[in-house]
């Protein structure tokens, strides 16, 4: 007679954006490394954003634009990825870039260590049928000295489900609690991994210190539409060159907060006895560029 394992499969807590307080969301993230939050975006918001991005989605080739074998493996040979979402989608700029729940979490987790934060990347991640799983990784490995068991969180991220995320179509895999492991650099065992199964409009909010990866899309004809949005300290270099992907004329139509998040404002830590970074002629970006504001 086979002996069944008594191990309990890990899971992610589920909250609702309409009822959960920011401090509740932050407490779960600090405990587990990530949390699923339902009703982050309405179905209409998702539909409008996908419509705004439809032409780019259709034009974007599947797989990386490089011959590097490791990059092909990590980014996914069956995955469509593109950025410049502020330029391409007004809905992204208004509903995702400045999402109040994400800003609240970022304020709580990042602001104690910086004067302000900005966008690391806003990136569509569309896992096509037969897409293989990524290897488990920590996003904050982009800044190795900031990604240790003792350093504070430098990155707050959200994976938005722009279609239902299921175990079959590649829902994000996560190792809850891996941000707190004493043996921080070890790989996760399969029995330590769960999937962020969630309906359209939900988001998995997590930090750059938790192990995770895109799952395998085992379906025959169902693409998994995901959108990654993340913030980092204003004094760290982001993954995406946000301001280079947004024209000045487009940036002028954005709010001061939206401009700051994509790099059209300077990082000003003078109130904290720090310096001013990312300036033009030592002025805030709009002034340095001669904008009439």
The alpha carbon dihedral of 144, 195, 126, 94 has a sign of negative
Q: What is the pLDDT of residue 9?
A: 82
Q: What is the pLDDT of residues 27-46, one digit of tens each?
A: 999 999 999 999 999 999 99
Residue 108 has what pLDDT?
98
Read off the tokens for 278: 């990312």
The answer to whether 179 and 207 are in contact (CB under 8 A) is yes
Q: Is the pLDDT of residue 5 over 60?
A: no
Q: How confident is the model at residue 22 (pLDDT cuts 50, 70, 90)?
A: very high
Residues 158-189 pLDDT 10s:
999 999 999 999 999 999 999 999 999 999 99
Q: Which of 6-10, 65-69, 282-286 has the highest mean pLDDT?
A: 282-286
Q: Where would I find the beta strands (DSSP E) of the chain?
A: 14-16, 34-38, 79-82, 117-127, 155-161, 173-174, 194-195, 203-207, 212-213, 224-233, 267-268, 276-277
CB 24 within 8 A of CB 16: no
Q: Residue 68: pLDDT above 90?
A: no
Q: Where are the domains of the chain?
A: 14-288
pLDDT at 165: 98
pLDDT band at 3 (very low <50, low <70, confident <90, very high): very low
Note the pLDDT of residue 2. 41
User: What 3-state class would DSSP assign to 113?
Assistant: helix
Max CA distance (Å), the chain: 78
Q: What is the pLDDT of residues 78-137, one digit of tens each?
A: 899 999 999 999 999 999 999 999 999 999 999 999 999 999 999 999 999 998 899 999
Average pLDDT over residues 59-86: 82
Q: Classify domain 14-288 at the CATH topology level.
A: Jelly Rolls (2.60.120)
Q: Residue 115's pLDDT is what?
A: 98
Do 217 and 125 meet the contact criterion of CB atoms below 8 Å apart?
no
Structural contact between residues 201 and 37, judged by C-beta atoms closer than 8 angstroms? no
- Predicted TM-score (pTM) of the model is 0.94
Overall average pLDDT of the 184-213 stretch: 97
Average pLDDT, the chain: 94
Relative to beta strand 155-161, strand 203-207 is antiparallel
């Amino acid at each position: 007679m086979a002996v069944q394992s008594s191990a309990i499969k890990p899971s992610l807590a589920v909250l609702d954006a309409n009822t959960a307080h920011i401090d509740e969301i932050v407490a779960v993230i600090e405990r587990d490394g990530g949390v699923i939050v339902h009703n982050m975006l309405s179905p209409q918001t998702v539909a409008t954003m996908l419509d705004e991005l439809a032409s780019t989605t259709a034009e974007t080739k599947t797989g990386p634009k490089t011959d590097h074998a490791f990059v092909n493996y990590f980014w996914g040979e069956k995955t469509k990825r593109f950025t410049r979402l502020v330029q391409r989608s007004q809905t992204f700029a208004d509903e995702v870039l400045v999402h109040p729940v994400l800003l609240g979490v970022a304020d709580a987790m990042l602001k104690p260590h910086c004067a302000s934060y900005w966008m690391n990347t806003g990136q569509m991640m569309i896992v096509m049928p037969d897409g293989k799983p990524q290897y488990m990784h920590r996003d904050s490995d982009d800044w190795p000295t900031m990604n240790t068991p003792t350093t504070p969180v430098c990155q707050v991220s959200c994976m938005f489900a722009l279609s239902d995320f299921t175990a079959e179509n590649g829902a994000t895999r996560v190792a809850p609690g891996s941000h707190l492991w004493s043996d921080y650099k070890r790989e996760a065992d399969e029995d330590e991994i769960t999937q962020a199964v969630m309906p359209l409009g939900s988001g998995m909010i997590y930090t750059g210190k938790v192990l995770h990866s895109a799952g395998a899309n085992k379906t025959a004809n169902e693409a998994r539409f995901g959108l990654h949005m993340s913030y980092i300290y204003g004094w760290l270099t982001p993954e995406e060159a946000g301001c280079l992907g947004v024209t000045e004329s487009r940036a002028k139509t954005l709010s001061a907060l939206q401009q700051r998040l994509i790099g059209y404002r300077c990082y000003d830590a003078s109130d904290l006895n720090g310096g001013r970074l990312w300036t033009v002629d030592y002025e805030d970006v709009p002034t340095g560029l001669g904008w009439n504001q």
